[in-house]
Every structure is written in C-alpha cells, then in structure tokens.
A = this chain, B = another copy of it.
Amino acid sequence: MEKDPALRLRVFDLNCWAIRYLSKRRQERIHLIGDWLCQEGFDLVLLQEIWSECDYNDLKAKLGGCCPFSHYFRSGVIGSGLCVFSKFPILDTLLYQYSLNGYPYMLQHGDWFCGKSVGLVVVRIAEITFNIYVTHLHAEYSREKDTYLPHRVVQAWELAQFIRHTAKAADVVLLGGDLNMHPGDVGIRLLRGWTGLQDAFTEAKHFVGCKDGCTLIPNNCFTVKSELQPFPLGVRIDYIFYKAVSSFTVKCEELRTTTGTVPGMDIPYSDHEAVMAILCIQRRGPTADVTIGTAMPVLAEVLSEARTEVCMGLLAARRQRYSSGRMAVLAMLLLLLQAVGVLGVLGGLVAGQPFPALSFSLLAFLALAILLLAAGLHLFYSIEVKMLQGTEEQMEMAMRGLQEQPLHCH
C-alpha cells in the first residue's frame, strides 16, 4: 500500500489587504501578486481580503493559465473577501457565515460589514477528495483589552464545527487563512483540538522565512508598528492547517513565508506575509477511524476555557442589552411627553407657546434619533445574547460527550 506514488501539492495562503480606497498601493500589489502566482504555479491559492470583485476578476484573468478554476465567496454588505484559485476543477462550494462578527457601530473596525465567513471548496485530485476551507476571523485590535475575544472564540468554534460536520467524507482537509489568533490562543487550541487539524509550520520538515513563522512583522512597511511593539519579532496569525481523514497521510515537506519587501521592489505584497506549503499526500492501509487530535483531558480543559470566554461575553452582552433597552424606553418617554405638550398647545389647553419652537423641535429630533439607535442596538444585543447562549450550550454538550466517551470507546 505504501508504494502508491505520493501526491505533492503546493498551497499558497495570503491576506491580500485589498480594501478599495483605503489600502495603500492596492492595484499595484494585486498585479504583483498575480504575476508572482503565475510564475510560481501553485496548485491551490487561498486568498483573503479581496474585497473588490474587480480585483478578483483581474486575478482570475491573470491566473487563467495556471489556475483555471476559481470561486469568489459572496456575503455581507462588502463581501467575505475570500476566494480560491485551483489547478483542478472545483466540484462544489459552500459558505457558512459566522453568527457573530463584531458590532455594526464600530465603523472604524468595519469587521461587521464584511460578513466574515468560512468558505468550502471541494476538489478531487488523483482520486483523492479534498475539502479545502478558507477563512478570515475577526481582527484583534487590542491584545490587552480585547473586546472581540468572545466573538472570535465563537467563530473558532463554529469553524471547527463546520469543518467536522462537512468533512466527514473527505480524504484530506486543508484550512488556510488569517485566523487573527496567536498559536497558543484558546481559539487556535480549540480549533485544532476539536478537529484534529495539524499546523503546517510546526510539522514542516524544512522551513524558510520569518523567524517563528511570523506573518505580521515589523519589517513590513505596511504594518502598524505600535500594534507590534510588544512583539519585536512579529506575530504568527496566518496558518495552513491540514489533516488526513481516512486512509491517507499528509506531511508538510516545506513551509515558506515571504519576508517583507518583494525582491527588487520597494513594497511587500501585502501587510501580511504569505504562507506557502508543499504537502505530500500518500495512501496507506486502512487505519482506525476518527482520531481527535488532542488528548481528552487537554481537550476538555480547552473547551472549558473557551466556554469561560463565551460566558464572559454573555455577561457583557446582557448588560448592554439592558442599557440599550433602558435608553430606548427613556427616549420614548421624552417623545411622548413632547407629544402631549404639542397636543396641549394645538388643543388650546395651554395658552401661547410654552417653549421656543426651535429648541423644542431639536429636542424631539434628538429623542427620535436616540430611540431609533437604542432600539436597533437592543435588537442587535438580543441576537448577540442568543448566539452566545447557543454556543455555550453546544460547548457544554461537547464536554458532556467527552466525559461519556471513555465509557463507550475504551
């Protein structure tokens, strides 16, 4: 069985930072990325932050020769930013939008509008079925006071659940993307523990690139230096993960990252470094079914840690739901009071005009605006509470399952 020739697959992953009007030298970089991908001839290209369909179409035209098959995942107002190019025909696709993804009023962060999702494409190469996932999780804007942590943990959990449920018939699972989490963060441990995915960086036989495999480095002229101050070497937040489900083995022969500025140019491809892996897939004899990557007690601990984060988020969301509800009620009361005043004047009950009309109207104006905003927020926080509760329950069920499993299996 071991004599089957191994399949070598070259996988490319990059967060392209292609935000229209905002990203620096966007079109130039997209051209550079396209040229480079053409020249290197990867088998699979997983891209994030391709927000504009024009950029996708440019890349598609350029990669027509080496990666003739592609898919652009649409979601949210702006899109998911995710796309996949492939040397092999894409047989099927599915998009799963995360239930939580930041707050609509955090306009400066903007994650909410992107409809952060995980995209799946199914590809068959040499009789091997590949489930290939590409994703981009909510950014971490401050590591000390990370208000988005519960949302990111929910996303990591939903990502893990989506992969587990959809990859059951796949021979090989690949996941590439900007997970916005450091290798030791609870979300990464949860994702890896719950799916059994392996990290191409730690498994690679041979590595060339930034120290510790960092993908956000101070050397890159587009990174925000102040954010990287606590990490002089940079951070690793872009990953290629893999796993063989049935009778296959996957090994990472080589992992490379870019290291800032493109050789011969004055700019890098993006504010992130690209991750490139050479994977070696080989058929082997039938083995035991479903292995969960992490030992049970460790996994139970990670689950419990993740659940704590979700519970913290739940407390905060409940508090905010209450405050926004109270604000809406107060604004409504003010409006009612004013309506009674106006009716009094119109009905002639009150002689003359008790208030100056302009400030009276401005106040009503303000009250209405607050009412609309507060009601909208209340609705939003209600959904947040629901989703956090749901995730917490699912995690609880998973923990119960883990505790019961040894009785059934061993």
Contact = CB atoms under 8 A, between A and B. Distances in A.
Number of copies: 2
B77 A162 contact: no
A409 interface: no
Contacts of A387: 74-75
A93 B398 CA distance: 10
B390 A95 contact: yes
A94 B162 contact: yes
Consensus secondary structure, chain A interface: helix
Contacts of A99: 75, 95, 97
Interface stretch (A135-143, A206-214, A364-372): A364-372
Interface in A346-387: 356-358, 360-362, 364-365, 368-369, 372, 379, 382-383, 386-387
A91 interface: yes
A398 B357 CA distance: 63
A165 B92 contact: yes
A169 interface: yes
Contacts of A91: 401
A76 B386 contact: yes
Given A79-B386, A390-B75, A96 B95 contact: no
Interface string A51-91: 00000000000000000000101111101000000000011
Nearest to A95: B390
Interface in A376-410: 379, 382-383, 386-387, 389-390, 393-394, 397-398, 401
Contact of A357 (B357, B379, B389): B357
B74 A390 contact: yes
Interface residues on A, range: 35 or more
A313 to B, nearest CB: 15
A246 to B, nearest CB: 10
A162 B165 CA distance: 10
A77 B382 contact: yes
A168 interface: yes
Contacts of A223: none
A181 interface: no
Contacts of A79: 386
Interface string A245-281: 0000000000000000000000000000000000000
26 contacts: A71-B397, A74-B387, A74-B389, A74-B390, A76-B386, A77-B386, A90-B397, A92-B397, A93-B397, A95-B99, A115-B383, A120-B165, A166-B166, A166-B168, A168-B168, A169-B169, A356-B357, A357-B361, A358-B358, A358-B360, A361-B361, A361-B362, A361-B364, A365-B365, A368-B369, A372-B372
